[in-house]
C-alpha cells in the first residue's frame, strides 16, 4: 500500500457505534451535516492536536529516564553544555583532583606469612 497523506476531518462528536466484532467506532457529524463512523483508534481530540507541539520538562525527563546509563550521560552532558553550564568543566576538575588524590595515597604493603615466603623462595 502506498504512503498516503494524513488528513484532519472536522466534525462534532455524536456518540458511539458498536459493531458485532466488539470494536468501537465514534460517530462524528461533519460540518456539512454528514454523519460518519470512524474507528476509535483513529480519533484524536482537538485538545490533543492543539497541545501536540507543547513540550513539557517533565515529559523530556520522563523520556530521558528510559534511556540506558550511557545515553543518559551523553544527553545530560549535551543539554548542560548547550545551556552554557560549567558542568562539564567541574566534572572534569573533580575527576582530575580525585585522580591526583588516589595517585598520591601510599599503598599499603602486603604482608605475606612466613611459610608462604619460604615456599616462594624454594619453589
The 10s digit of each residue's pLDDT in 26-57 is: 888 888 888 888 888 777 777 766 666 777 88
| Domain boundaries defined on the chain | 11-50, 55-123
Alpha-carbon separation of residue 52 from 55, 56, 108 (angstroms):
8, 11, 61
Residue 98 CA to residue 53 CA, distance in Å, equals 44
| Kind plus residue range of the DSSP H or E element containing 29 | strand 24-30
Strands 11-18 and 35-39: unpaired
Q: What's this model's pTM, rounded to 2 decimal places?
A: 0.35
State residue 94's pLDDT score: 78
Q: How confident is the model at residue 110 (pLDDT cuts 50, 70, 90)?
A: confident
The 10s digit of each residue's pLDDT in 51-93 is: 667 778 888 888 889 999 999 988 888 887 787 767 667 777 7
pLDDT tops 70 at residue 102: no
Amino acid at each position: 500500500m502506498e504512503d498516503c497523506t494524513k488528513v484532519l476531518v472536522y466534525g462534532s462528536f455524536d456518540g458511539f457505534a458498536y459493531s458485532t466484532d466488539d470494536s468501537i467506532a465514534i460517530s462524528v457529524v461533519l460540518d456539512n451535516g454528514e454523519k460518519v463512523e470512524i474507528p476509535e483508534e483513529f480519533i484524536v481530540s482537538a485538545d490533543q492536536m492543539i497541545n501536540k507541539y507543547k513540550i513539557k520538562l517533565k515529559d523530556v525527563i520522563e523520556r530521558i529516564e528510559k534511556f540506558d546509563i550511557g545515553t543518559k550521560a551523553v544527553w545530560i552532558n549535551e543539554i548542560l553544555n548547550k545551556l552554557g553550564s560549567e558542568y562539564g568543566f567541574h566534572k572534569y576538575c573533580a575527576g582530575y583532583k580525585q585522580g591526583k588524590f588516589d595517585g598520591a595515597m601510599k599503598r599499603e604493603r602486603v604482608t605475606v606469612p612466613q611459610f608462604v615466603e619460604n615456599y616462594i623462595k624454594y619453589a
